[in-house]
Amino acid sequence: MSAAPTVDDAIARYLDHLVVERGSAANTITSYRRDLQRYRDFLAGRTIVTMPAITEADVRDFLVALRRGDPDNGVSGLADSSVARTLVAARGFHKFCAAEGLTVTDVAHSVSPPKPPRRLPKSLTIDDVLAIIAAAGVGDGPRSLRDRALVELLYSCGARISEVTSLDLDDLDLEHRAVILRGKGGKERIVPVGGPAVEAVEAYLVRGRPALAKKGTPALFLNIRGGRLSRQSAWQVLVDAAARAGVEKEVSPHTMRHSFATHLLDGGADVRVVQELLGHSSVTTTQVYTLVTVNTMREVYATAHPRAR
């Protein structure tokens, strides 16, 4: 009867497999070796030295130990992202061992990594947005008219920066105050455009775009050479406007999109309507914005209600 494979031997075989069979990068091998050594030390602390002796409970306890650390010895727990990375190494290791017959079953198969904390989207105040829009349209030259129209449209429609820069003239219906946006996966949606954005786009089309249009192109937003404005250039337009407006928060096109959604929900819009406007395929993607408004309500309640505390 052959001896049960040891944890050390199994780890060595797995790392060889990653190098020879999988062709994994040197940095990946180094990371996996470090994570599996941590796993090996944990098992050794339980006097587990052979593969068949490892149970699913051991893998789960390893996960808990990673998050908790060792406070008595001044060792902090790992962040959820690091715990998840280490568990990926352990799960890959056990899957390999089961496939190679080193163990009967994959004891790590059902162990899931910790879910990362849900991060609330960053949102600007309405005053911040208005200041940025005003700063984008300083002057009456073609570029100023273009920049004002661009920023107005970003906020008015909650559009992604790529959706705005890919707009063609035929995508606009200013008479009915609507625009066709093409989102991820080529999905189209019709989104209403607010009055100030319509006015800004009309001013650009009449007094700005003709001066920039040096060659035939259907693109709505043009660069100084007459071609389609790039995503990077449009991003810079927004960043420069935020700097001129004195807005100290980090501002990006996605910040404007977050602000669009948050301001709509604060104003009483139904989450499913906001889902359609944003072009989200699932309402659960949009519901993260409701966390922002719930937090706002809590703050108002805590400061205004006489029996809140």
Q: d(Cα 66, Cα 202) in Å, to the nearest integer?
A: 58
Identified catalytic residue from 91, 146, 160, 258:
160
Give catalytic status of residue 184 as yes or no: yes
Identified catalytic residue from 209, 258, 263, 280:
280
CATH 2.70.98.90 fits 126-303, yes or no: no
Domain boundaries, the chain: 7-99, 126-303
Identified catalytic residue from 184, 187, 272, 298:
184
Question: Between 26-44 and 80-99, two packed helices, what is the crossing angle to 10 degrees?
Answer: 90
Give catalytic status of residue 13 as yes or no: no
Closest to 157 in 3D by CA, of 229, 186, 166: 166
Closest to 259 in 3D by CA, of 159, 155, 164: 155
3-state DSSP helix/strand/coil % of the chain, to nearest 5: 60, 5, 35
Give catalytic status of residue 160 as yes or no: yes
Identified catalytic residue from 68, 176, 249, 254:
254
Q: Which residues contact 137 (CB under 8 A, 6 or more apart)?
A: 144, 145, 147, 148, 151, 200
At residue 80, the pLDDT reads: 80
At residue 188, the pLDDT reads: 87
Give catalytic status of residue 272 as yes or no: no
CATH class of 7-99: mainly alpha
Identified catalytic residue from 148, 209, 257, 258:
257
Q: d(Cα 242, Cα 138) in Å, to the nearest integer?
A: 12
Q: Which residues of the chain have pLDDT under 50?
A: 1
At residue 180, the pLDDT reads: 92
Kindly state the DSSP code that residue 168 receives in the 8-state scheme: B
pTM assigned to the model:
0.58
At residue 283, the pLDDT reads: 60
